Amino acid sequence: MDIENYISSGILEGSAFDALSTQEKREVECMTHIYPEIKQELFRLHENVETMSKNLSLDVPDNVKKKIFARIENEPQAVNDSSHLKNEPGSISSSPKIIPINYWKWLAAASVILLIGISALFFNSQQSITQIQNELAIANKNSEAIKKESLEIKDQLAQITKKNEINSLLADDATQKIKMQGTENSPNSLVNIYWNTETKSVLLKVEKLPAPPSNKQYQLWAIVDGKPMDMGVLVINPLLKNILPISVKVENAKAFAISLERKGGSTVPDMTAIIVLGKV
């Protein structure tokens, strides 16, 4: 397993942003138990996502605060000076009083700071959301690529499994080889049957067989107790080099034959369309 390619595939980012399917989550969890490097990278990504979430809360910059408060400090202060009434007849003597800075100005300043903070927070949040969406899009794209690659690997493994089963059957001492020679319908045709009398499994190897017409299909038969037994239509697989594992098992077969039937197969063989025939 190429750990670096797996880490760079984007599936761990998808896990950190909770953007994976249930099957993908199980795959990642399995990988973290097997490979410490993957577990460490996933932990780092989770920390980065948590840090990004905390950074969405934005404070107002200090230089903005200083400018706002400097303007407030420079505003002229209102003074209620009643000293000129002190010596006038009939006036009430009172000490000069200084009225504090207008609270409305403080409220306006606070509102400006709050507005700046909200605007900055909104702008930063929008940027973070866009970034997250882009990263999720990349992670999903990588995830689709991994899915496609996994399916291809699965198909390849299935083909390898079939080849191993074929080799095991061919090497088994209980396997008989029955040569099916071409009939007068196709004298040059040749197909070999490999039949394991213990497991009842059948393997067919096409040596020479002409391509059937577009509306016809080859069908395999086993002769058991004097009657033809349907063993299915034949679909040649180039990957197996014309070797066909037959899903139907058979015992007590006396002969095998292949006929040319209508597309989809038939319940009984057309005896005038037998292409190859071989006795056990």
pLDDT tens for 66-102 read: 655 565 565 554 444 444 444 444 444 444 444 444 4
pLDDT at residue 104, as a whole number: 53
The pTM (predicted TM-score) of the whole model is 0.44
pLDDT at residue 111, as a whole number: 66
pLDDT category at 277 given cuts 50, 70, 90 is very high
Distance CA 57, CA 118 (A): 10
175 phi/psi in degrees, rounded to 5: -90, 125
% of the chain exceeding 70 in pLDDT: 70
Q: Is the pLDDT of residue 271 over 80?
A: yes
pLDDT at residue 115, as a whole number: 67
pLDDT at residue 118, as a whole number: 74
Return the minimum-mean-pLDDT range out of 106-110, 112-116, 173-177.
Answer: 106-110
Return the minimum-mean-pLDDT range out of 4-13, 90-99, 110-119, 168-177.
Answer: 90-99
Task: Please report, for the chain, the start and end positions of each structural domain, with discontinuous segments joined by +.
Answer: 1-171, 175-279
Distance CA 197, CA 135 (A): 59
Range with top average pLDDT, 24-28, 183-187, 207-211, 241-245: 183-187
Q: Is the pLDDT of residue 218 over 60?
A: yes
Tell me the CA distances in angstroms from 251 to 89, 176, 197, 258, one per residue in order.
138, 12, 7, 18
Mean pLDDT, residues 204-223 taken together: 91
pLDDT at residue 179, as a whole number: 95
pLDDT category at 52 given cuts 50, 70, 90 is low
Within 8 A by CB and 6+ apart from 10, the residues are 138, 139, 141, 142, 143, 146
Q: Is the pLDDT of residue 272 over 90?
A: yes
Q: Rounded mean pLDDT of the chain?
A: 77
Distance CA 182, CA 277 (A): 7
Indicate the DSSP class of residue 100.
P
pLDDT category at 9 given cuts 50, 70, 90 is confident
